[in-house]
Amino acid sequence: MPVSTSQIILIAEDDSNTAKLVQTYMEREGFSTRIAASGLQALQFFEREPFCFVILDIMLPGLDGWEICRRIRKKSDVPILMLTAREEEIDRIMGLSIGADDYVVKPFSPRELVERVKAILRRIRPREEGAQEILRHGSIMLDDAKHKVSIAGKAIELTASEYKLLLTLMQSPGRVFSREELLARFYEEGESVVERVIDVHIGKLRQKIEPNPAKPEFILTVRGFGYRFTE
């Protein structure tokens, strides 16, 4: 079923053929779209409209995709998917480490791109009203009804992936989650994702919620297996 047309996707891509291809496939699914041909134009559009998703090419003229991602993350947790012609793992890790939610290498299947966007939006969609809850542990409070996290009363900005990860762990304190299990919760079956993606998200999340990220108190590592939230 097509999504609501009230949802607008920002496509930041300087290659007009690629941009129009992505636009065509996204609009077939019911999304509205805006195309930005440069980094500066992407930021200007982002300031003016409430986007539900950003598809961001890395090699943009002027400000590149890395910088755009950093600037967006300073003010918003909108999902970001990065496009690049480079397929080295270090680029994927870098994109995720600065706040991107997914990473697609060119050339890509536009149908797969659509499914990745829809999968990310499904993961962050608010749960049914009856399932919403407030989770607390020490100074951390996660209000799932409002999709907000605070530390000692101070709001903390998390990316969509970081929020989902924290929610998963806090819902089952003490339970050990393997990297494979966390990956299965975050990504659709069949997606090619390296296990280190979870380590990147954990590292960024610790930087935001731990008093001393080098000696975490909340998100604990279970060596050789995965992670758990302290009891």
* DSSP notation for the chain: -PPPTT-EEEEE-S-HHHHHHHHHHHHHTT-EEEEESSHHHHHHHHHHS--SEEEEESS-SSS-HHHHHHHHHTT----EEEEES---HHHHHHHHHTT-SEEEESS--HHHHHHHHHHHHHHHSPPPGGG--EEEETTEEEETTTTEEEETTEEE---HHHHHHHHHHHHSTT-EEEHHHHHHHHS-TT----THHHHHHHHHHHHHH-SSTTS-SSEEEETTTEEEE--
CATH topology of domain 8-124: Rossmann fold (3.40.50)
Q: pTM of this prediction?
A: 0.59
> Along the 231 residues of the chain, how does pLDDT read in single tens digits?
334 435 899 999 999 999 999 999 999 988 999 999 999 999 999 999 889 999 999 999 989 999 999 899 888 888 999 988 776 667 667 777 777 888 888 888 999 999 889 888 877 665 444 445 788 888 899 988 788 899 988 999 988 888 888 998 988 888 888 887 787 776 654 344 555 788 888 999 999 999 999 999 999 998 888 899 988
Ordered by start, the domain boundaries in the chain are 8-124, 129-229
May I ask the CATH class of domain 129-229?
A: mainly alpha
